Structure 1
Amino acid sequence: MPEEFRYRVIHETSYLYSGRIDLCHNLCCLCPRDTPFQSRIIHFMSIEPRPEVIGDHVDFFGNHRNVFSVQHSHEKLLVRSTSEVAISTAARPWEGEFEDPPWEEVAAGLPGLRGEAARGIGGFRLASPATPPVAELREYTLASFPSGIGVFGGCQALMKRIHTDFRYAPGSTAVHTGIKEILAGRQGVCQDFAHLFLSGLRSIGLAARYVSGYLETLPPPGKPRLQGADASHAWIEVHVPGLDWVPFDPTNNLCPGSRHIVAAIGRDYFDVQPLRGIFLGSGSQFLGVRVDVSRA
C-alpha cells in the first residue's frame, strides 16, 4: 500500500509602501492543485489590512485563484497563505517500463488535436510571452532530439544539458529577463531554466507547460531546519502520449516526485504569479517574501 507525505506550506508576501495607499486590487495563485498524486487537504488565506472585497474562482488552466480589494487607506499589506497537502509515494508511470514514442511523430500529431484535447494539450505547444521562439535555442534543443529518439528520452537529455550548461545564480536575473539574455549569460534561477526548457520544446513542436510550486528542502547534516528559509520553485511538464504529463526539474536534474508540491500550471510564469495587483497611491513599494515548507 503506497504511503503518503503530508506537507504544510506557509507563503507570506508583504508590501511596505513609502506613502499611503488608498486602494489596491490583487489576484493570488497560491492554492495547491489536486493532481493524480497530490491532494489538497486545506487552504486558507489571511490578509492584513482586512479587505472589503474578497472572492475566488477557477481559471482557464484549472488553478484556484483568490481575489481581494483593500479599499481604505493603508501603508502596508500582508498576505499569508497556509496550505496542507498529501502527496503519494506510489511509483510514477515513467519510473517503470513504458513505450517512449518518437518525438517527431508526437509533434506532428499535436496540430490535429480537436476539442478538449486541443484545449488541454495542444495549446501548450504554442509560444507564450515569456517563451518566444528563438532560433539559437531551437538548435540547442535539437542537439538532444536526434531523429527517432522518444519524447521522454529527449527531455531527459535536454534537462541534463540545461542543468550542466547553466549556472544556478540567484540575483543574476529578474522576473522579466528574456530567453536571449539567459542564453547569453548561461545563468539564472528555476524560473529561467523552466522558461528555457519550455521555449526549446515548443520550438520543435512539443506540448509543455510551466509548473509553479514548492520543494521540500532538508538542512545539512547536524544543522537545524530554519523556518522561513524555503522558497517557491518552478519546473515543467511535458505531454508524453501513454504517460500523460511528465514533470522535469532542470534546476535539480530530476523528474519530480513526492518532495515537489504543485501549486499551479500555465504557459509560463506570468500565468501563475503567486500575487499580483494594482494600487492607487504615491511613492515606492518594498516587497518581502517568506516561505516555509514542513512535514505536517
Structure 2
Amino acid sequence: MLYDISLKVMYRYGGPVRTGRHLVHLWPLSLPGIQSVGETRVDITPEPADRSGFKDFFGNWASEIVFDTPHQRFEVKLSTRVERHLITSPRPASIAFDKLAEALGETNSLAPNSPLHFLGTTPRVRPNLVLQDYVMDLAPPQASTRDMVRLLGERLNKDMTFDASATSVDTRHEDAFASRRGVCQDFSHIMIAALRSVGVPAGYVSGCLRTEPPPGKERLEGADAMHAWVRAWCGPETGWIEYDPTNACEVSTNHIVIAYGRDYSDVSPVKGVLRSASGQAGSQAVDVVPVREAEGAADHG
C-alpha cells in the first residue's frame, strides 16, 4: 500500500522561550521487505540555530534541534511517501511459551535488535506480579509464544476502554490498568509490561495508523493520528512480531512504522528542554492518504 503522509507537531508557549534544545523522532523507517520510504521533507519553524540528524542506538532516524533566540511557538512539519508492503509468506512456527526462557538463555547478542534489551524494567515499563497473573490465566504454558501474545492483546482490548480523557502522556501504566481506561500509549505500555512480566521480550512501536472514515463520510484533514503498538520476540525462528492491542490485531499494511524503542521514552516524537517562565500547549495532526485517493482527488479538482 502506497501512502502520502503529512504530520505536524506544534507547541505554543505562554511567553517567549529564550532557548531550547529538542530531540525529534518523526522520520519513518525504511524496513527491507516491510516498508519503503521515498522523498521526505521536514520544515521547522522558527529556523533553528543548529540542526543535526543521526541514527540512534535502535536504528531510528532522529534530529537534534537547537534554538538560541526568543520564540513563542515551535513547529515541525513532515511530508513523505511510504510504501507498506503486504507480507504473504508464512512465518516459521513460534516456539512454545515454556521453551522461551531456554531460547533466551542461548542468546548472547547485544545488537540493537537483540531481545535482551527488551526485558525487565525501563523508564516507563515496570513488570509486576499483577500483570504476571493476568497473563498466566490466558493459556497453558505449552501454548506458543505467538498465541500468548495474541491472547493477551485480545484480552486487553476487551478489558480496556479507549478513553482519550482518562490519561495523559505521563500516566503510569499501573494506573491506566487499574482504571481499565486509556489511549494507545497506555494499551501498549500495559501489554509490554505484561509480556515482560512473564519473560517475553517486548518493545514499543511509534507510528501512524491509516483510519477509515464512517461510510458515506469524507476524510477530515488531520483525522489520522500518531499511534503506538507492541513488538514481541517469539523465539529465534519466528523473531519479532507486531501486535496492536488498541485494535486487537496483528500489524498490517495500515500501520506505518516511525521508530522502535523499549518504551515511549526512547521514541517520543518531540522531547527536550527549554528556558521559559510560562506554560505550553501542544497539538498534532496527521494525514495518511493512500496515493490512489490523493490522485483521484487531484483528477476531480
Same fold at TM > 0.5: yes
2:137 matched residue in structure 1: 143
Kept in 2, the 8 Å contact 1:144–1:157? The answer is yes
Task: With the length of structure 2 as denominator, give the TM-score of the two structures.
Answer: 0.92
| Structure 1 Cα separation of the partners of residues 266 and 230 of structure 2 | 13
What does 1:97-136 correspond to in 2, within 5 Å?
98-116=92-110, 120-136=114-130
Residue type at the aligned position of 1:71: D
| Structure 1 Cα separation of the partners of residues 64 and 2 of structure 2 | 27
Is 1:79 paired with 2:76?
Answer: yes
Task: With the length of structure 1 as denominator, give the TM-score of the two structures.
Answer: 0.93
Structure 1 residues 279 and 133 mapped into 2: Cα distance closer, same or farther (>3 Å)? same
Between the aligned residues of both structures, percent identity stands at: 31
Cα RMSD (Å): 1.5
Deviates more, 1:113-122 or 1:142-151: 113-122
Kept in 1, the 8 Å contact 2:187–2:246? The answer is yes
1:262 matched residue in structure 2: 257
1:202: how far off? 0.6
Q: Select which of 240, 245, 248 maps to 2:243.
A: 248
What does 1:176-215 correspond to in 2, within 5 Å?
176-215=170-209
Q: For 1:259-286, what per-residue CA distance to the aligned partner results, in whole angstroms no more than 9, with x for missing partners? A: 1000001000111000111111221112
Is 1:53 paired with 2:46?
Answer: no
Q: Select which of 216, 220, 228 maps to 2:214.
A: 220
1:140 is paired with a residue whose SS is: helix
Kept in 2, the 8 Å contact 1:134–1:180? The answer is no
| Structure 2 unpaired stretches of 5+ | 292-301
| Structure 1 Cα separation of the partners of residues 30 and 61 of structure 2 | 10
**Which runs of at least 4 in structure 1 moved beyond 6 Å after TM superposition?**
none
Q: Select which of 65, 71, 77 maps to 2:62.
A: 65
- Give the length in aligned residue pairs: 289
Q: Select which of 209, 226, 235 maps to 2:229.
A: 235
Structure 1 residues 184 and 125 mapped into 2: Cα distance closer, same or farther (>3 Å)? same
